Structure 1
Amino acid sequence: MKKVTIKYFYYILALCLLLKHPVLSQSVPSSSTKNPEIVHNYVMEIWNNSKGLPQNAVFAMEKDNFGYLWTATEEGLARFDGKILKVFDQDNYPEMLEQTYYNFFKTESGIWAAGDRSIALLNKNIKTIIDCSEITDKALIRAIADNGEGGLLIGNQKGQIFSWDQETFTLLPYWTPGVPLDIFGFYPLKNSIILVGTSRGIYELNLQTRKVKLVTRQDFSALKIFGNGDQLYVYALDEGIFRLKEGYILENIYSFKQVNIISPSSLIADSDNSIWAGSLESGLIKMSEGRITQIIYPELQTYTVRKIIREKDNLYLGTVGKGLAIVRPAKIKHLNQDVLQEKNIKPIYQAADSSIWIGTKSDGVYQLKNGEINSWKDEDGLLQNRVNTIGSANGKVYVGSLGGVSIIDQQNGQIVEYLTKENGLQSNYVYAIFRDSKNWLWILTRGGGIHYIDEKDSFHQVELPEKYANTSFISILELNNKQVIIGSVNEGFLRFENDQLIENQILPLPMSENLIYSMYEDRDGDLWFATHGGIVLLHQGEFKILKKENGLKSRGVFSIISDGNSGIWTTNNFGVQYFPNSELEKFKHTSDEDFHIVNNFYNESHGMPNSETNGLIFPSALKDYSGEIWIPTVEGIGIIRGPSLAEKEDSKNFLFMWDNLHVGGQIIGIENEITIPEGVRIFQVTFSLIDIESPDRYSFFYRINKNSEEWQPISDSRQLNFTGLKPGYYNLEIKVLRHGKTELIKSLPIRVKATWFESLVFKILLLIAFGVLVSFMVKYYYNVRMKRSLECKVNQRTAELSNTNDQLKKALSEIERKNNVLIAITWHQSHKVRAALTKAMGIAQVLSQYSSYPEIGLSKNELEIELQKSLEELDQIVRKTHSMSENMKNHES
């Protein structure tokens, strides 16, 4: 019940006013509001729940210190930067204590949003939320202001004022009005003074002296105090609007009878000292210099405007049921002729008498002259209601169609003559009519038809080669050298000297794109062609093509028209583009295939009746004698007033802001740099570019690898999603382009933290472990290899040893055998040697011991001979033994 009461508080209050004053509620407004002003030539953008607003009833609206526009709805808060609506609700921001906030109060620290039981500080994001349950029991929060000591003053419906300091609420001790009252609002002044509007007068609250005094009569019900810094106003219940002058003198400037149809909560004062308010009946109320005007915007005629912000010529309107409406003056004006509203407009032409002739797709031709409008249709004698081209010569207007040419006498307005196939045209399908400086009137048709009516009013058909027999000629231009060039379908352009064809050049385009809708010669004599394949330049005999990738909004370009000063205007299926001469010169001389031409772009959001302009008509755009450029569209005429329009667009009133980091299910405001926690590899970075005036003139690119020269485009959502960035330090760069020209580059340091397993220490340890493992494996490999090698060598050696052993065994056996033989030989021979030796030794002993040898029976000589024999015998034995050994050795060999 409390929420419903708050939601409709001001409406119930207004209803009470009407019930208390039934006669006044039915009274006729003052004379100044008898005839409401229907607004023309404006652009309105509607932001509702189909475009991102949480809900279509706006309770409160205010701009924060950064320039974001905040709105409060029943389903949450919304922040707007001119392009993106960002919703703050309990689903996305669970720290919010409630979903619905009803009032905004602007302070130096930001916007304080007040709900049923809490307040929230809004400044780029939600900065602080304070639970106010203890001071809001059956009492709404009506006012919030800074208390000058870093805290807040909060006034509630019961007439109480609380001070909030150090997270504690205390009643303001010196707020003692002495009578029961309701607080309606605070209005801070200079020198620490706050005006308190109540149901029992206005009080001055002095924060320095800590005193309160009543500055108006006590029966004065100050429902709303508002101002603009220079002037201060008060809306008093049942009394009207007062100017609060110096010394708190009240001057009634609008009676309650005059303003009884306004919604008091919407009252504002703009910088021009005009007062604006939403009407309880319809539209807006503007009060200026005593005059009250009811302003009607047809789109909002049945919707109440609850909140208003006015900046320069722009209005921001918070409505009930329509959402947020942004109203701007149209940069491209409409032709305010009801009869031509929303008509499909074809050629527009200005005759020598300054009258403007307008052809339509199915409603004939119209003439605008001296504020009057005339028309001709088929029932008036026009050959056909579909008009393709218009021209004039010698006091006659020639209207070309699919059925021929209807000729209108300018003086009497009568259709006096026709030109068709029956009297000379090659085809009744007429594309272009054009008068040159010789006063020749050229008429171009299908089927190879090029005709002209000379200065003597004689009709001629230009003779052409047979190859052009089926060519359609659709555009024409007289050059500075008086030559005439004619654009065609698929055959390029033809150049004529008088009526003699001297040149034909084919454009370097495929057949489907080779349509020359319009032509332009610049101050250097270079030719520019508007075609179905872009803008083609002929410069020093060479062709160059400006395409979509170079900055065009559309492949097909219907017209090129110079403003005579600073640049050219072109039309296409999506609106109008303006190119400065300086950029055209850059294109002429650049060799960069990625060249992007700086331009301004205009469409319905700038006032065009429709973004789709018309082509295959002549003229496809008109610069009138005053310098205004007329653009035909499928739903009316857009008028570009003066060449300065594009120059005004050079304003750089925008602000780039890093917004939030979305990581790990949390939303964190970005200040200077961001850190991605360990193990997190998916995160999102959002940013804003605050420009509510002209949000569509920007494009964005980013890069995050500092070694990369390539910039990646960013979508209109203005958010960047990152997945799988490796741990380390990065520098995110965003490049902002305005109309294709770089305005600024913003950087954001990003640190992606590593887990233990991704840290440098872990990697070093892992590397060491890997090295140890590799070393172990190498050693193991070589050990295994060595083992195998050794095993192989051992086996080989074992085999060798085994073989050697066998050989040794054989040798040993042989040695044993030989040893046995030797033993036998030695034993056998030793006996013989021993016998001979013993004998020799005995003889030698006898010879040495005895001088005579009677006992022996032999003489010395005989003993010596016997000794000689024994020795010889011993020698023979030795020789024989040696011979036997030699025989054994030879036998082994």
Structure 2
Amino acid sequence: MVKYILFFLLQLSLFTPLIAQQYPTVRFQTRDGLPNIAIRSLYVDSRDILWIGTENGLSKYQNGYFTNLFVEDGLAENNCWAICEDENGHLWFGSYGGGVTSFDGDAFKIYNKENGLVHNQVQTLYAANKKVYIGTLNGLSIMDIDTKEIKTVKGSQAKHPQNYVSGFFQRHGKFYYTTYNNGLYEVVDNGEEFKARKIHNGTMTLSLFIEGDSLYCANKGQMVKYHIDDFIKSPDTGQPVGRSSVWDQTQDHLGNRYLAAWGIYQNTGGLYRFDAKNMIPMNQDFGIDSKHILALEFQKSKQQLFVGSHDKGLYRVSLDNSVVYFPRNGTEVKGIEELNDKLLILDESGLEIKPQKRNDSSSVHIHPKTFKKEQENYLKAGKYIPKHEDFFYEIDYTTPSSLIKFYRLSVHKNKIWISTNIGLFALNETGEITDYLPLHTMVMGFTPDHQLIETNPYHGVRVYNDPQSFDYHYFPEEDIDTPTMVTDITSSPGSTYFSSAFSGLFLYTGGKFKSLLKEGILEEKKIKKIHYTEDGRLLVGGEYGNLYILDGDADFKLLGRYSKKRLNGNSIVALEDYKEYMVVGTEQGVHLISDHSYQFYSQQQGLKHSPRMVKVIGDDLYIATEAGYYKLDLKHISSLEREKIGVQLHNISINNAAISKDNYRWFDYKESSISLNADQSAVSVDFALEGVKHPDLVWIRYRLNPNEEWSPFQQNTLITINHLNHGKYNLEINAFDQHTSTSETLSLLKIIVEPPYYATPWFVVFSIFTLFLLVHGLFWYNLRRQRQIQIAKSNITKRIAETRLEALRSQMNPHFTFNALNSVQYYILEHNQEEAIRFLGQFSSLMRTTLEHSSQAWISLREELRYIKAYVDIENSRRKVPIEVNIKLDSSLSNDDTQVPPMIVQPIIENVFVHAFPPSRLKPKMTISYTKYNKHSLICSIADNGIGFDSSTISNQSKGLSLISERLKLQFMDEKSPITIHSTINTGTTIQVIIPIRIAT
């Protein structure tokens, strides 16, 4: 008994009180978009827009974006000390020095002393009874919101230097206002003017608010509670309920009232929660580090409290209780577990055991000294010490308690297991250490049949049958199926899974290990986290951010995969499951993923610190971090109402120039479309999303028409299109809210780009018609020109051909004449006058025929044959052995109607007489045949039985043939040779000539 008493006294003596829970808070400064960090006023209007008045600029905060307004935008002054909204939905902004500015959604209008305002230094504004009450530094003015008539309340001005109006209230149909140092007044309306009737001198009232029949008056340095009727009667009937100077107040969705305090000369400022009796400090709970709080406002739609400070900007506190932060004095939380309705929290300061029941505030804390003491007792008892030589991870037994490192917290069979650098400890639910094992293991676990698993990062794995007696089976690291550098362990009802930093995923079942990497089941080598879900899935988190979902109870079939691009973050650090959701932690936050939902929680929802591990306990998700832990209400998060997302288009630029402000109403583009000229092709649009609690968690993509592909997702609401061709476009956006897993496709803007003048229908028709005329005219001109050129070319070609033919004939005539004269000379030399005279007569007749034919292009076939026979007779008359010449004519050829070019065959026949038959050749023969070749030509074949010749000598013996070939080419207008020669030595020669013909008409 004494042992247990001493044990608990030790725990209590070593326990360090921990900081209470905190709500997620975000602070905004000038770098976040605020115009100035000195906040003077806050107001949420009927459009759910938060207006922020600062000492240098007015800001509109909507859906996560600040829009700042200044004098150049239409304000009376850059500072804004008071804001209200009238019954017409118009806003009023009071400045300290420039009067008041109204805004009707389209334009700003300034009212100051020149318009009838009593004073330009506005302190407070109040809208009621179709009027705006304008409290100034000295006096009260009343504005009719319909007529815009300003009336000064007669008697509201005073010579007192501190006569500024501080608050308003109504009671029993009467209207009252308070001043800082000049008492309470009633505003009396006699129909023509307003008068101020002083009720009493009152107190130094800074602000006031009404709750039921009670009036709370914030005086200098204290808060005083009155019954309203008693306050009107006398200021001395109040009861102090708090000590600080309160400047503003608001209520949240649960009815909690919060007060903004600034002690001015005392350090009593800050944010307070007021319970009608006490002012409870809330700075620590809300993470607010300013004591100079001047303005408060609560946004019901998002359950967010806005706190305006005079020195550190604007704070936004989330009060929906979905995320709560528990700091741990800056220490890193190593593990969180549950045991018998008790919450176990392991951090660098030791183990805390906290009852989860709200009415039970008892807590036990086990300090590192307690663990060290247990180790020392084990060593003193002389028990077994594992050796490093046996591949145990070495322990430094001189490690002091201040250097103890806590690795892992596990719960197994109603015992708490904690692995450290000085050994492995087991504790019961009260925090008493029941077992100590001198095992240094960073990652430990248990098999489904309750065997302890010890891993060594540099060697193998031990599975213990009995840890106390060190009865174990060792699996050496040399075996490829043994996991090394183990990063995590998880178990299913029948198996245990191991993940390795370098060797992939392993399965342990039936006393054997199996490498799933070696089996080719999962090729991911570097695995950081694994988790077996209640529905039998095995979640595997890769080192580089890829998530694998395997069927853990069958053949490890890959059920799904989330690449790094689909998750926020670079590395998976924690895995859990809740109902149908996978809980995936990365260094940027926590994902809740199911088949139909994708939600992400990060800094925007209050998770300022990166997750280290996660644990689902009941309907709560605990997130351990380097500076405490968070608790997320999973039931609330998973059932978040999917609000319909809307869009407000608040900025359009064309060719880098913003369009006129006249196109907007309440900062939203009035129209659903915009028409642009042809030269206005660059469009930029900026918009805000409505119905979104955390705009930074919304992914956006766009497209220009429904049949086009979506752009890649982006988190920026600015869309820039560098060039649009003429046509009609429907700019759509698809917004996916990671906070609520809501996706919405919205039409943002219809864009009509007019075509350039050269693409308009009338210009196209005119251009086509003009082009047709030009093409038509050019075509006929070119056709006529081509005809003229062709005729001229034909004439020139014909003339050239004729000239060349005449030249060729003139070459042949002298050649033939020379041969004939040789014959005459021969007869004369032989003194054969009769033959000479006869031959000369034949020759002269032939010459006359030759001269006639030389001037003609065509002669009849009859004339051609008569000419050939005459020539043959002359040649035979010169020979001792005449050549037997046979002329054959195709029956299809008509002698009279068929015409041929003259003097084509004669040179060939002449060659036969000259070259084919030497004197020694007996019985010389030559056959000349005419055969029709086609409609336009015939073939003349000259065959002899002469001596023949070698084909290589054709060019040397056939100048006449060359002349004939050239004539025929010109006649045919063809480059192909019309003459073919077949000759065999001592056998004879056959020459075929294709000769053009024409039929006489």
Q: Give the Å deviation of 1:520.
A: 1.1
Cα distance between partner residues in 2 of 1:223 and 1:462: 80
Secondary structure of the residue that 1:290 maps to in structure 2?
A: coil
**Cα contact 2:374–2:436 (8 A) shared by 1:** no
Matching residue of 2:813 = none
**Cα contact 1:608–1:638 (8 A) shared by 2:** yes
Cα distance between partner residues in 2 of 1:38 and 1:404: 30
Matching residue of 1:719 = 718
**Cα contact 2:183–2:200 (8 A) shared by 1:** yes
- Given candidates 538, 541, 546, the residue that maps to 1:530 is 541
Secondary structure of the residue that 2:81 maps to in structure 1?
A: strand
Change beyond 3 A, Cα 1:242–1:720: same
The superposition leaves residues 307-355 of structure 1 with CA deviations (integer Å, 9 ceiling, x where unpaired) of 011346632111111111112246343446xxx4322232444567957
- Given candidates 75, 81, 90, the residue that maps to 1:102 is 81
Q: Give the Å deviation of 1:83.
A: 1.9
Change beyond 3 A, Cα 1:342–1:673: same
Deviates more, 1:236-245 or 1:535-544: 236-245
Cα distance between partner residues in 2 of 1:803 and 1:495: 100
Cα distance between partner residues in 2 of 1:800 and 1:444: 108
**Cα contact 2:74–2:108 (8 A) shared by 1:** no
Cα distance between partner residues in 1 of 2:415 and 2:550: 35
Q: Which has the higher contact order (CA 8 A, sep 6+)?
A: 1
Cα distance between partner residues in 2 of 1:100 and 1:242: 32
Q: Give the Å deviation of 1:705.
A: 2.2
Matching residue of 1:602 = 601
Cα distance between partner residues in 1 of 2:792 and 2:332: 106
**Cα contact 1:141–1:157 (8 A) shared by 2:** yes
The superposition leaves residues 150-186 of structure 1 with CA deviations (integer Å, 9 ceiling, x where unpaired) of x8665554435354679875536xx545885856267
**Cα contact 1:81–1:691 (8 A) shared by 2:** no
Matching residue of 2:331 = 343
Matching residue of 2:217 = 235
The superposition leaves residues 441-487 of structure 1 with CA deviations (integer Å, 9 ceiling, x where unpaired) of 2223332213223498662115478224572334333323x333333
Change beyond 3 A, Cα 1:144–1:319: closer
Cα distance between partner residues in 1 of 2:705 and 2:125: 47
Q: Give the Å deviation of 1:358.
A: 1.5
- Given candidates 278, 288, 291, the residue that maps to 1:291 is 278
Matching residue of 2:529 = 517
Change beyond 3 A, Cα 1:656–1:187: farther
Matching residue of 1:471 = 484
TM-score normalised by structure 1 residue count:
0.69
Amino acid at match of 1:307: A
Length, aligned pairs only? 724
The superposition leaves residues 848-893 of structure 1 with CA deviations (integer Å, 9 ceiling, x where unpaired) of xxxxxxxxxxxxxxxxxxxxxxxxxxxxxxxxxxxxxxxx99x999
Secondary structure of the residue that 2:766 maps to in structure 1?
A: helix
Secondary structure of the residue that 2:733 maps to in structure 1?
A: strand
Matched ranges for 1:130-145 at <5 A: 130-134=110-114, 135=116, 139-142=120-123
Change beyond 3 A, Cα 1:504–1:126: same
- Given candidates 174, 184, 194, the residue that maps to 1:201 is 184
Matching residue of 1:639 = 631
Matching residue of 1:278 = 261
Matching residue of 2:575 = 560
Matched ranges for 1:556-595 at <5 A: 556-563=571-578, 565-580=579-594, 582-583=595-596
Matching residue of 2:378 = none
Cα distance between partner residues in 1 of 2:156 and 2:548: 82
- Given candidates 533, 537, 558, the residue that maps to 1:543 is 558
Unaligned runs of 5+ in 2: 1-17, 356-361, 376-394, 803-847, 854-1001
Matching residue of 1:374 = 366
Secondary structure of the residue that 1:769 maps to in structure 2?
A: helix
Matched ranges for 1:254-653 at <5 A: 255=238, 258-259=241-242, 261-264=244-247, 266-268=248-250, 272=255, 274=257, 276-280=259-263, 281-297=268-284, 300-311=288-299, 314-329=304-319, 331-335=322-326, 340-350=328-338, 354=342, 356=344, 358=346, 360=348, 370-376=362-368, 380=373, 383=395, 385-391=404-410, 398-401=417-420, 405=424, 413=432, 417-420=436-439, 428=440, 430-436=441-447, 438-446=449-457, 447-454=459-466, 459-463=471-475, 466-468=479-481, 471-480=484-493, 482-501=494-513, 504=516, 513-515=525-527, 517-523=529-535, 525-532=536-543, 533-539=545-551, 541=555, 542-548=557-563, 551-563=566-578, 565-580=579-594, 582-583=595-596, 598-608=597-607, 610-611=609-610, 613-614=611-612, 620-624=613-617, 628-641=620-633, 643-650=634-641, 652=643
**Cα contact 1:240–1:252 (8 A) shared by 2:** no
Matching residue of 1:217 = 199
The superposition leaves residues 574-624 of structure 1 with CA deviations (integer Å, 9 ceiling, x where unpaired) of 2222234x54xxxxxxxxxxxxxx32222344444612x23xxxxx54445
Cα distance between partner residues in 1 of 2:728 and 2:236: 64
Amino acid at match of 1:343: T
**Cα contact 1:39–1:296 (8 A) shared by 2:** no
Cα distance between partner residues in 1 of 2:540 and 2:271: 48
Secondary structure of the residue that 1:161 maps to in structure 2?
A: strand
The superposition leaves residues 244-285 of structure 1 with CA deviations (integer Å, 9 ceiling, x where unpaired) of 658996697994865562133x24466627362323133123
Matching residue of 1:65 = 46
Cα distance between partner residues in 1 of 2:650 and 2:464: 65
**Cα contact 2:122–2:136 (8 A) shared by 1:** yes
The superposition leaves residues 349-368 of structure 1 with CA deviations (integer Å, 9 ceiling, x where unpaired) of 456795726154xx666666
Cα distance between partner residues in 2 of 1:415 and 1:496: 28
Matching residue of 1:834 = none
Secondary structure of the residue that 2:710 maps to in structure 1?
A: coil
Identity %: 12
TM-score normalised by structure 2 residue count:
0.63
Change beyond 3 A, Cα 1:703–1:260: same
**Cα contact 1:727–1:758 (8 A) shared by 2:** no
The superposition leaves residues 418-458 of structure 1 with CA deviations (integer Å, 9 ceiling, x where unpaired) of 334xxxxxxx5x24322445332222333221322349866
**Cα contact 2:732–2:745 (8 A) shared by 1:** yes
The superposition leaves residues 200-228 of structure 1 with CA deviations (integer Å, 9 ceiling, x where unpaired) of 53325669x66757787243469567557
Amino acid at match of 1:727: H
Cα distance between partner residues in 2 of 1:631 and 1:273: 28
Secondary structure of the residue that 2:624 maps to in structure 1?
A: strand
Secondary structure of the residue that 1:467 maps to in structure 2?
A: coil
Q: Give the Å deviation of 1:53.
A: 0.8
Amino acid at match of 1:543: L
Secondary structure of the residue that 2:260 maps to in structure 1?
A: strand
In angstroms, what is the RMSD of aligned CA positions? 4.6
Amino acid at match of 1:61: L
Secondary structure of the residue that 1:546 maps to in structure 2?
A: strand
Deviates more, 1:408-417 or 1:298-307: 408-417
Q: Give the Å deviation of 1:71.
A: 0.9
Amino acid at match of 2:641: D
- Given candidates 94, 99, 112, the residue that maps to 2:92 is 112
**Cα contact 1:575–1:602 (8 A) shared by 2:** yes
Cα distance between partner residues in 2 of 1:892 and 1:622: 125
**Cα contact 1:683–1:723 (8 A) shared by 2:** yes
Cα distance between partner residues in 2 of 1:729 and 1:190: 60
Secondary structure of the residue that 1:782 maps to in structure 2?
A: helix
Cα distance between partner residues in 1 of 2:492 and 2:483: 26
